[in-house]
Chain A
């Protein structure tokens, strides 16, 4: 009885860890499948989603009782849209120029992730206003000048004048603001400390299955959310016009382009979709614990592993990989396996050594490496005749 309960508990917990991994890895897997690009800022997009949830929660708190309990429903689309917007910015602003150079893209997106981490730490009214003014001046100016016929000729000159000029003006305005209003505008919005999202009352507590084992509602919510995301993505990819285009570009970019599919738009859309899913994942993880600037870093490597193990051929690969990694992680980390093999002393000692959350990761990594020995392309590798997969 005890062992059955332990197993059930382990399965459920593994499933719920896997669900978090899956919702985080889904976006990454789609983008990687389509463009061969690993977005190192994916974790930071999750973090942005979590912070969005925090903001939405605080806004809804001011509305009073019936509303403050429903904020999570509204936070999901807001987080999705916000991170999708950031995703489009990143794709149009940086990644577009680096196609065909995946390793450089990796470094560039790492740079973006550093900037986002620091941005969350130090963002305040001054910084926000300065960024808005800078963008208005610089990009507005560029848009204005780009209408001139001889733009290509004077491009370098325009950039060398406009960039420092806009930066100086926005910097000066920021400085003046900081001097006049002092602390009210220079106080960081979030700061370096973690912030807490309190789950609404209906997500607290849990349903008791039997004995002392109960399923927390928050975990259940995440599993359902993940399933909904999966279903949504599946329908979108299989049934919609754009989904068809995305699948076709994933299979053969050149051929799709020849047949008139706007690959650039497909790229932007997919990247936005992937980033938006990161935002939803951020909402989900905000229910599990406090959220800080480094939150994304804790998840990102695990989600990469999901993509590696799952392969990029089918979404089902990510599902299997996420649940497998989650379950193994939990079983090893919680010491359940050590308990099961107790009769065999050396084996039990071996598993007890790995029975902490961090040591479980060590073991999972070696399992992944050994798995890749016979399935190097993951569970569902991309099929095709290209030499360079």
Chain B
């Protein structure tokens, strides 16, 4: 009996999963095939960049929404991903033995040793993921193994942001300091500024975003996901139940860092610039607010939030450049106090009620756990027969 029930549930969830996958692929196809017909040039590039940022939002959601680790330092991982690909783009068009332009300017005579492997595209593409992953995992390990958490963790990550900002900002000879790496020419033989190449970047961003979504979906469902949520809700209890949360936190922080790196790389090739400004404290906290606006612990919410906030930002800061900070500050306050579950959370509760009110549908409130209880559902089905 029980086995039978289990099988049926499995079938049902498999069906749901297929539907979800279909929706994701559908949206991706619409974005790739139809949207470029409607918007072109600057706006399309903007959409591409914001979709790249949505990957970072997913990364934040994974650690903050699901695991309860508020990182204020994801700008570092984002920028490292960006720098990894930008270093390749600096080296790609050069003849062997010549140096990037800015190095000549600062009187560097020999390519620094850690620049050399970035001449290869394969290495750079892997570095985009692996460098942030290793750094995130190492930092995470050093912090989590001492059970440093909560606000302490947040301000440590923030300090890390400052530190990396200072490092990259101060090293003119190695990273061109404040100006960052820009003026990209070719990648794998294709000209970066060509519309076709940019379209490839756009398409790749969407593919990566869908893949990231799938990865996060896979991670957050099942036992691993349950453990993450348990760590968020009561870490001591998880520990008392015989799990060591450190490993899980390190893994999820590392993955999140790698995703932020991917986001940074996709953002960089579409923007044409990576500078230490990406490691600004403000930018890292902005990432958090995308997730907060969309809805914590909701993957769709994170993507939605990143898009809504960034489009709102570009719209408002074009209109009122002076008082944009007022809006942003108010956004933080409003989201935290009035909309703690973000847009998605609001839609799920208030929005549904509002719809019901408008369309006059009747909705009888019961206990949600009762609604979802398979036993109760089965009883209902058999009773109806």
Contact surface of A with B, Cβ cutoff 8 Å: 32, 36-38, 94, 97-98, 102-108, 110-115, 117-119, 121-122, 297, 301, 304-305, 307-308, 356, 358-359, 361-362, 365, 368-369, 372-373, 376, 387-388
Pick 18 A–B contacts, CB within 8 A, sort by A: A32-B151, A36-B150, A38-B155, A97-B337, A107-B292, A110-B285, A111-B333, A112-B332, A114-B332, A118-B322, A121-B322, A301-B155, A301-B281, A305-B155, A359-B167, A361-B162, A365-B159, A369-B142
Chain A binder among B41-49, B78-86, B323-331: B323-331
* Chain A contact residues: helix, strand, loop or mixed: helix
Q: Who on chain A is nearest to B64 by CB?
A: A103
Q: Within B282-307, which residues are at the interface with A (CB < 8 Å)?
A: 282, 285, 288-289, 292
B236 at the interface (CB under 8 A from A): yes
Contact B147 A376 (CB under 8 A): yes
- B145-162 Cβ-contact flags toward A at 8 Å (1 or 0): 011101110111011101
Interface residue? B272 (CB, 8 A): no
In the assembled complex, B166 has its CB within 8 A of some CB on chain A: yes
Q: Which residue of A lies closest to B149 (CB)?
A: A388
Task: Tell me, in angstroms, the Cα distance from A41 to B140 when the chains sit together.
Answer: 26
Residues of B contacting A297 in the complex (Cβ-Cβ under 8 angstroms): 281
Secondary structure call for the B interface:
helix
Is B126 on the interface with A (CB-CB < 8 A)? no
Number of chain B residues whose Cβ lies closer than 8 Å to a Cβ of chain A = 45
**A111 vs B70: C-alpha distance when bound (angstroms):** 16
CB-CB nearest in chain A for B282: A114
Give Cα A113–Cα B72 distance, bound, in whole angstroms: 15
Do A111 and B170 touch across chains, with their CB atoms under 8 A apart?
no
Question: How close is B364's CB to chain A, nearest CB, in angstroms?
Answer: 24
Q: Are A38 and B154 in contact, CB atoms less than 8 angstroms apart?
A: yes
Is A36 a contact partner of B167 (Cβ separation < 8 A)?
no
Contacts known (A297-B281, A356-B170, A373-B142); A110 close to B332, Cβ less than 8 A: yes
Neighbouring B residues of A107 by C-beta, 8 Å = 285, 288-289, 292, 332, 335-336
Residue from the set A36, A110, A112 with the largest chain B CB neighbour count within 10 Å: A110
Tell me if A118 and B337 are in contact (CB < 8 A).
no
Do B162 and A301 have beta carbons less than 8 Å apart? yes
* C-alpha spacing A372/B146, complex, angstroms: 8
Question: How near does chain B come to A186, taking the closest CB pair, in angstroms?
Answer: 12
Contact, CB under 8 Å: B166 / A376: no
In the bound assembly, the distance between CA atoms of A111 and B64 in angstroms comes to 18
B151 cross-chain contacts in A, Cβ below 8 A: 32, 36-38, 102-103, 106
**Given A38-B151, A98-B336, A107-B292, A305 and B159 touching (CB < 8 A)?**
yes
Q: How far is the CB of B172 from chain A (nearest CB, A)?
A: 11
Q: How far is the CA of A326 from the CA of B227 in the complex (A)?
A: 41
List 8 other contacts, CB 8 Å, given A103-B70, A304-B159, A373-B142. A94-B337, A103-B64, A107-B285, A110-B285, A111-B333, A114-B325, A301-B158, A372-B148
